[in-house]
């Protein structure tokens, strides 16, 4: 038994107290994590090695895969370890780091999805000026801004959230240190700063969503004027998966963060947390690769007998550096 009054960390209650269900949860999360790890690493490798994919769209896709890889690694491995060991304790330092990286990477993911939608808008609606608008320098600056904005958001949330006095037992009904669940532990009227910051972050995400929707309205209106059915199909196959990813991620995360802590249901919180923490990083590689002919062609080329020895030499050279 853990002394809840003297410990400095927290207890993550997770999905179940039964040992068999904990093992099942650990196995399911492990399989999901390995799939996400393999898929995102594969996309990063393919885009890095294939020169034909060195364009703004794939440059941003590579960073999205890197964000997904880091994002799922913040919460899932810790949850797997806790379930396998039957120990739900997480230290204060681990919880602070988890909140920081979780908010930072989630904010960066929203930002990179917004940049990707603008890239598609510039490519389809302003093709004559595309190379000027999305030149390599502008792409690098956009990615740097994405990472910096995410880091600042994570830093502010972590600093404010862990400066709030806590009342009662340090038990979090979630499989990771989730900000809405941690607000339940705050003393009355002491978490107004965190709620204000969460409202600001949510409003910023909503503005990003509006920007994405407006970009795709312009894109679809342009696409519908294309006389070639093949051209329309190609554009839709590129844009619709991105729109699905944005809608799924932001709707699940927004629903979770907009609800007041007192109105939260633990079961519903767990379900929605899986929707925006585990499923998007796992499905993104499938959505972006299986419906993309250039990615599939690059993968076949990379795995071909003629290209495989050259790729091995490139990878060895990269590891030596």
Residue 162 has pLDDT above 90, yes or no: no
pTM of the complete model:
0.84
Q: Which helix (H) or strand (E) holds 11?
A: strand 10-12
The residue ranges of every structural domain in the chain are 9-317
Residue 306's pLDDT is 53
Q: How far is Cα 245 from Cα 290, in angstroms, rounded to an integer? A: 14
- List the one residue out of 24, 103, 100, 106 whose CA is nearest residue 67: 106
Residue 5, pLDDT > 70, answer no
Given pLDDT bands bounded at 50, 70 and 90, which one contains residue 321? very low
Alpha-helix residue ranges (DSSP H) falling in the chain: 19-49, 56-85, 92-125, 130-133, 136-161, 179-183, 192-223, 229-258, 266-277, 279-290, 293-303, 308-320
Nearest to 102 by CA among 90, 114, 84, 89: 90
If one looks up domain 9-317 in CATH, what number appears?
Answer: 1.20.1070.10
Question: Six-digit token pair at 290?
Answer: 């299986």
Average pLDDT, the chain: 81
Q: Convert the pLDDT of each residue in 277-315 to its tens digit.
A: 898 899 888 887 766 777 777 777 777 755 555 555 655
pLDDT, tens digit, 9 for 90 and up, residues 8-47? 788 888 777 788 888 888 899 999 999 999 999 999 998 9
Residue 210's CB is within 10 A of a number of other CB atoms, namely 11
Quickly list DSSP for 15-84.
Answer: S-SSHHHHHHHHHHHHHHHHHHHHHHHHHHHHHHH-GGG-SHHHHHHHHHHHHHHHHHHHHHHHHHHHHH
The answer to which of 16-20, 59-63, 143-147 has the lowest mean pLDDT is 16-20
Q: Which residues, in sequence order, are CB contacts of 155 under 8 Å at separation 6+?
A: 100, 104
Host H or E run for residue 10? strand 10-12
């Amino acid at each position: 038994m853990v002394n809840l009054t003297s410990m400095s960390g927290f207890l993550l209650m997770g999905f179940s107290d039964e040992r068999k269900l904990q093992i099942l949860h650990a196995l399911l999360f492990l399989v999901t994590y390995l799939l996400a790890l393999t898929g995102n690493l594969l996309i990063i490798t393919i885009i890095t090695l294939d020169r034909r994919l060195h364009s703004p769209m794939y440059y941003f896709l590579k960073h999205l895969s890197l964000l997904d890889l880091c994002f799922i690694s913040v919460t899932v491995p810790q949850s797997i370890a806790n379930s396998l060991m039957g120990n739900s304790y997480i230290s204060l330092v681990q919880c602070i780091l988890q909140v920081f990286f979780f908010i930072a990477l989630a904010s960066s993911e929203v930002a990179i999805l917004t940049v990707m939608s603008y890239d598609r808008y510039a490519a389809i609606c302003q093709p004559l000026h595309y190379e000027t608008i999305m030149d390599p320098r502008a792409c690098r600056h956009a990615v740097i801004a994405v990472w910096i904005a995410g880091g600042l958001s994570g830093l502010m949330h972590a600093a404010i959230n862990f400066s709030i006095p806590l009342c009662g037992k340090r038990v979090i009904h979630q499989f990771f240190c989730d900000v809405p669940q941690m607000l339940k532990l705050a003393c009355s009227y002491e978490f107004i700063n965190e709620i204000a910051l969460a409202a600001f972050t949510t409003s910023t995400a909503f503005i990003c969503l509006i920007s994405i929707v407006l970009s795709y309205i312009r894109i679809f209106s342009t696409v519908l004027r294309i006389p070639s059915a093949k051209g329309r199909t190609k554009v839709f196959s590129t844009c619709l998966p991105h729109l699905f990813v944005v809608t799924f991620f932001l709707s699940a995360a927004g629903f979770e963060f907009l609800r007041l802590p007192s109105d939260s249901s633990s079961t519903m919180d767990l379900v929605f947390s899986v929707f925006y923490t585990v499923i998007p990083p796992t499905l993104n590689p499938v959505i972006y690769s299986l419906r993309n002919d250039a990615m599939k062609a690059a993968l076949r080329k990379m795995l071909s007998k003629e290209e495989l020895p050259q790729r091995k030499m490139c990878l060895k050279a990269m590891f030596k550096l």
